[in-house]
Amino acid sequence: MPRFERHVFVCINERAPGHPRGCCSAKDSVSIREALKSRCKLEGLGARVRINKSGCLNQCEHGPTIVVYPEAIWYGFVKAEDIEEIVQMHLINGAPVERLVLPEECVNTPRCPHRGGGVQFRGA
């Protein structure tokens, strides 16, 4: 069997209700992962793309969060209606969905304007 071209990790981490950082699971990430798996299967990507569930990716304020490797493209605030675009543009055609890509200053940095609330990304 050939190697996968891409690994897609969908955070399905769950935290206690009311946690200040929130969690991806409470933002429907489990069903988003299932929709992503289904869409990839429908497109015949099963041998090329692996959809994995992930524990916390430490991007709780941006949830649901998805990261695609080997490109290390981080998507934030993903909704079910974004799945088709991610599959078509990125997983099939290799072009990241720019409107969903987390800005570099948001990934793994305390400088992120989303930490502590207030600022929203992409109108989410």
93 φ, ψ to 5°? -100, -5
Fold of 6-106: Glutaredoxin (3.40.30)
Tell me which residue has tokens 């200053």. Answer: 105
pLDDT at 45 over 80: yes
Q: What percent of the chain has pLDDT over 90?
A: 64
The span from the CA of 124 to the CA of 119, in Å, is 10
The span from the CA of 4 to the CA of 20, in Å, is 36
Q: What percent of the chain has pLDDT over 70?
A: 90
Query: Within 10 Å of residue 32's Cβ, how many Cβ atoms?
Result: 24
114 φ, ψ to 5°? -80, -20
The domains of the chain are located at 6-106
Mean pLDDT of 75-97: 96
Q: List, for residues 46-69, the tens digit of each pLDDT value.
A: 889 999 999 988 888 888 999 999
Residue 27: name the closest of 111, 124, 102 by CA: 124
**Amino acid present at 47:** A
pLDDT at 119 over 60: no
* Residue 118 falls in which region: left (phi positive, over 0), alpha (psi -120 to 50) or beta: left
The confidence band for 116, taking pLDDT boundaries of 50, 70 and 90, is: low
